[in-house]
Structure formats: structure tokens, C-alpha cells
Structure 1
């Protein structure tokens, strides 16, 4: 009887130990599983955090490149670049949780959209600057001539000599240009359509000047189309340090009286837009006008 009681107690102890062992194994398995899940979550958040940091770094590089071009938008670009740098600093020190990371992702998307808008504005400014540069190049000869002319005036010592020199120069007026379609019969029909034009007619008047020097006078006529191309001969001549590309020359016998000058410039495939006509006396611009073809 006593042995049976001992056996029962032993069995109870064994069963209890077995239950405890199973419970321990289940607890250990749960801890291991939770640890792996946590490790996976931390790894995923870390990877996504690195991706957002990389995206922000690329955003900063885009702003740095745009700022280096020194446009009129530099201040606004610098301000947005500084916001990106600040967000990178905050992200670096942020807690590695999904809620925090989601906030930084949303801020990055907003900054990216802002950057795209600013880059479009920068491109518009770049194109406008390129067009401005092209226009400045086309008038360089005029600016160079004006500079040279001013230097000559400053260098002169006697006011009387300056007055006589200025008064003896010939004055050109009524500079006009029109496009024509020339029929096979030779008849000229005025037109303002580029597709119909095959000749330009340039007219101007040399005013009477009693103190000017008489004799043959040669003028250089420059016609520039809407694409900044010089039409006609496209010949280049130098006057000291200044060079001039012109369309044609016209020589007039001047005898101190008013003279009407009319010249023709044949051509084809005229461009639509505004044309500029400049008349030079050697390197000096003495008259200018413009007209348009549609």
C-alpha cells in the first residue's frame, strides 16, 4: 500500500515536470519568434530609412547643381535646399519606427514635387537667358562702334573741332524696308507674307549738308532675319578693332544735296517674324529700322 502511494506521488511529480517542460519550450519558442519578428521589422525600417535618406541626398544634389548656375532664383533654391538638409538631419536622429518613417516619406514627396516645379521655372529662365544672349551677340557690332565713337569724342581737346566734325556728318532718314513678289513679267507686288516674298526693297534718304565732304559715299547695309541670320552677301569687313558682317553695299555720288537711295535684296525662303535693318557708314551705325513678315 505504501509502495502504491509512492508510485502515485512519483507519477504526479513526473507529470508536473512534463507540463513545466512543455510550458518552458512554448515560452522559449514564443520569445525566439518575437525576437525574429522584431529583428525583421527593425531591418525593414532601417532599409527604408536609408532609401529615404538616399532620395533626400539626390534632392539636395539637384538643388546644388541648380544653385551653381547662378540664376535669379538662387535665393529660393537655397532656401529649399536648406529645408532638405534640415530634414536629413532630423531623419538621421529619428526613432526607427514605421509611424516616424511614414512622416518623413510624406515630407520627402512634398519636397520632391516642389523641386520639380522649381526646376521647370529654372529651365524657362535658362531659355530666356539664351535668347537674350543671342540678341546681344547680333548687336555686338553696334555696341562696339558706340564705345569706339565715345572714346574718340572723349579724346578730342577742342570743342570747336568736335562741333565741326559732328556737323559735317551726313544724316540718313526715312529708312524703310518692304517685301515684294516679283512676277515673271518683272512686275513687283508688295506683300507681308514670308512665303510669297522673293525680294526686299530698302529705301533711305541722305539729307542735304552744305559743310559735308562731297564725293562717293559707300554704305554697308545689314539685314538680320528673325533667326538672327544676316541675309545677302554675309561678307565681313573690319574697321580697326571692329568687324561688321553686312548684306550688301551701296555707293552714292553725294554733292551736298538730298539724295534718295533705293536698293534691292533678292532672296528665298524668308522666315516669318521681325527683321532688323541697319545702315553703317564704315563702322558707324547711322540708321536702323525693323519690319515683320507673317
Structure 2
């Protein structure tokens, strides 16, 4: 009687164990499937990134190829630079992309069109380069023939230029002994020397043009510039243009020159000048500084 009662319980326990075993096996199979799917995705992503890196390397190689062609400096240089810029732009797009298959496929199609244009340009550039080499060889013989004549002409031109410079230098006039004296003008007309700024109302400026027998005779124009300690130009404050350079000056002086020493003197009226350093510059008609000096007033 006891044996018959235990049989149903044993059967139920066995059934439960079987169900649990089946559930465990199902769970294990599901986990295995998930791991397989993850491995497949990882493999796909890895493959995609590898394709992206290979594509980038190919584009970088093409950019370098463009650099070589551009360095040839043929008539196609401008077109080569434009097409290279398109490749560079495409490379930047790829670097910023997520590397998906769809994006890579899109950019590869774009690259195919660019590469076709590149191949045509590179081929044409090589043709031009070869033509230039041939032209250079043909010109070499002519260059050799002209070289001797050019050398002779250059030598003669150099001698003429040196002679011209020597003559020009010899004809230049020397401006010497530039001096400035401050004076007080009295009502009687008498001028009294002074070194006080508050008393000075006239600056007597003088210089000497030295004798030069090879210089051309005629009028010589000079611009005299007097600058106070505050960088103000005294006198007329007019301006003379020398090309793109402008020279402010105190007064101009025309001197008649006849190959002999000439003493030049000019009075510059001043008013309310201050103590300090003063600078005097003399420029010729070409705006070249020919003499300079300075003086102090207390």
C-alpha cells in the first residue's frame, strides 16, 4: 500500500526535473545565440573600419601623387590643384563619417568619378612634361650659341654701368660746414647771438657747396628741414613729394653753381620756440640727404 502512494510523487519530481533541464538548455541556447550575434556584429564593424582605413590610405596616396604632378609646373598646374582639392575634401568627409557600409559605398562612387578625371589629367601632364623635356634639349644648343654673345654684352654693359656710376659720383656736390646760429633781432635791425630759446626769433642757417670741376653748372635746389625737440618742423612747413615719399621742409633754397665753392646762408624766422635739441637736415632736389647737424637751446 505504501509503495503505491510513492509512485505519483516520484513521477512528478521526475517531470519537474525534466522541465527544469529543458528550460536550462533553452537558456543556454539563447545565450549562445546572443554571443554569436554579438561576434557577428563586432566582426562586421571591424571589417567596416578596416575598409574605411584602407580607403583613407588610398586617398592619401592619390593626394601625394597630385603633389608630384603639381611640382612638374606644367600648364595643367591649376587644374591639378583644383582636382587635388576635391580629393582632400572627400578625405575629410570620410574621416568625419561613422564608417557605415552605406556611407563608404557612397563615397567610393564619388571617388571613382574623381579618379577617372585624375587619371586623365595625370596622363596629360606626363605628356606635357615629356614635351617640355624635348623642347629643353632642342633649346640647349641655341642657348650655348647665345651664351658667349651674352657674356660679352654683359661685360660691356657692366663696364659702362661702372663708368656711368663713377661719373655720376664724381659730379655730385659736397655740402659742408652746416651750422645754425640763433639770434635776437633788435628793432634797430641789429642781430645779437643767443643760446636761449625764449630770446631767439631768427635761426641763421649756413652751409658750403664745395668746388667740383667735373660737376654740371647751373641752378641747384636744396630743401632745408629744421626739427625741434618735439619733432615739429619749423618754418614754411611745406611738403615736397619724391615718388611715394613726402618730405616736410622749413624752406627751399636755389643756388647758382659754377664749379666753384659757394657759401649759402638763409635766415629762418621763428616764434615761441622752446628749449631743447634741434636738428637741421639738407636734402638735394632728388630728396637725398646731403648734410645734417644739430644744436641746443636752453
TM-score when scaled to structure 2?
A: 0.46
Q: Determine which structure has greater relative contact order: mean sequence separation of CA pairs < 8 Å that are 6+ residues apart, divided by chain length.
A: 1
TM-score when scaled to structure 1?
A: 0.46
Question: Which structure has the bigger radius of gyration?
Answer: 2
